[in-house]
Amino acid sequence: MIDRTIPYYNIIMRCDRVLPMEIKLPKGYSIRTYQPGDEDAWAAILCTVGEQTSLSDAKAEFTRRYLADAALTNRIFFAVDATGTAVGTAIAWYDGLRVLHWIAVHPEHQGKGIGRALCQTAMTLFRREDNNKPVYLHTQPWSWKAILLYISLGFKLQPRDTIYNYENQYAQAMETLKAIVTPEQYALMEANTAFVAADFDPASLKWNEAGLLPAIAQDAVTGEVLMLAWMNRQSLRLTLESGYATYFSRSRQQLWRKGESSGHTQRVIRLSYDCDGDTILMQVQQIGPACHTGKHSCFHNPVVDGDLPATAGILETIAATVADRAAHPQPGSYTNYLLDKGTEKICKKVGEEATEAVIAAMKTDADGLAGEVADLLYHLSVLLHDQGVAWQDVWEVLRKRHT
């Protein structure tokens, strides 16, 4: 039950990338989507845990918000016990924003990992749909146990970011949490608070006569330089406050937020300035193409066009090719052949290539080993696509394990 003696403050949490996760449920429980009549079960669960106070009002809210759009019913998850009784719920809400909300488990069934499994199910849906967009949730200090769960799923507390019309009350919420959780739990919450841009004096930068600086945007995943534009003091401030690149147009003499009309936004992962203080560099998460021509990068007119050294970035290129073949099948395509045959065939090929790599190594055949590993990585790329997993998910798992 919710302890309403704990002061209420808005807490916003955000997960920037959903990692693959194994969903485990205790024996006898399963998770399904909405079925007609579940509005009664939803209202009962929310009232039992104290999130709602009136069964009729809760049912009316559910009907109004979620049953008006049939597509939403496939985003409402229920955990059911062996008798088929709904004992928990979570919603993978989407209205332009992706929001995990209304997570609740009947008190008699808490402590079994059901809430975690519900959250993981919703998050897996988000990951398979589009893992380039963040997932948000709104909570409050009286749900401090849930905050620890959300952190374990990759969410971070947001000191400034918010959603809808919520007032971000991070400072008040953290002060409240400090008084009710253990020092170790509070330290975990602090450690999983999103980075806030360091305070610095923009006047220390070397702005040109027009009060501008060049700002370079670089793809945070591939390292590719995407574009160069200009910032003034106000656009830099807005970039730091919002977390999204905002520039100043010299031709229009006005601010413009990248993607405000096209949707091709740039979420800033890192922002720094050079040794002379006269150029800004941003590593960004680019949604869609950066260039107005539709190219990923504005720098697509080579003058000297030598072969750049091959890196692991080629796997992203292969993954993009596999995704394109899946969306636009081509006659005679081996990739389409594998995708059409399905998971079992793909897994057999992965096993075969792994075995051939081992054989090449046992023969100390270095050239053969390079070729077999290349074959293995290609087939792994097909398998990852088949399972809705990106190479970046693999890199994130490795980073989490080894840093």
Two tokens, residue 402: 């080894």
The mean pLDDT of 166-184, rounded to a whole number, is 96
Burial zone of 352 (CB within 10 Å; 0-12 exposed, 13-18 middle, 19+ buried): middle
pTM: 0.78
CA dist 238 and 243 (Å) reads: 8
Strands of 225-231's sheet, edge to edge? 225-231, 213-219, 280-286, 266-273
Q: How confident is the model at residue 1 (pLDDT cuts 50, 70, 90)?
A: low
Q: Where are the beta strands (DSSP E) in 220-313?
A: 225-231, 246-249, 254-257, 266-273, 280-286
Over 80: is that where the pLDDT of 196 sits? no
The pLDDT, as a whole number, for residue 131 is: 85
Of 16, 118, 17, nearest to 389 by C-alpha is 17
**Pairing of β 280-286 and β 266-273:** antiparallel
Per-residue exposure over 49-58, b if at least 16 CB sit within 10 Å of its own CB, e if not: beebeeeeeb
User: Residue 313's pLDDT is what?
Assistant: 84
Mean pLDDT, the chain, integer? 93
**254-288: pLDDT as tens digits:** 999 999 889 899 989 999 999 999 999 999 989 89
Has residue 312 got a pLDDT over 90? no
d(CA 309, CA 28): 54
Q: Which residues contact 249 (CB under 8 A, 6 or more apart)?
A: 230, 255, 256
Q: CA geometry: angle at 191 spanning 145 and 93, to 5°?
A: 55
Model confidence pLDDT, tens digit, residues 2-43? 777 899 999 999 999 898 889 999 999 999 999 999 999 999
What pLDDT does 86 receive?
A: 97
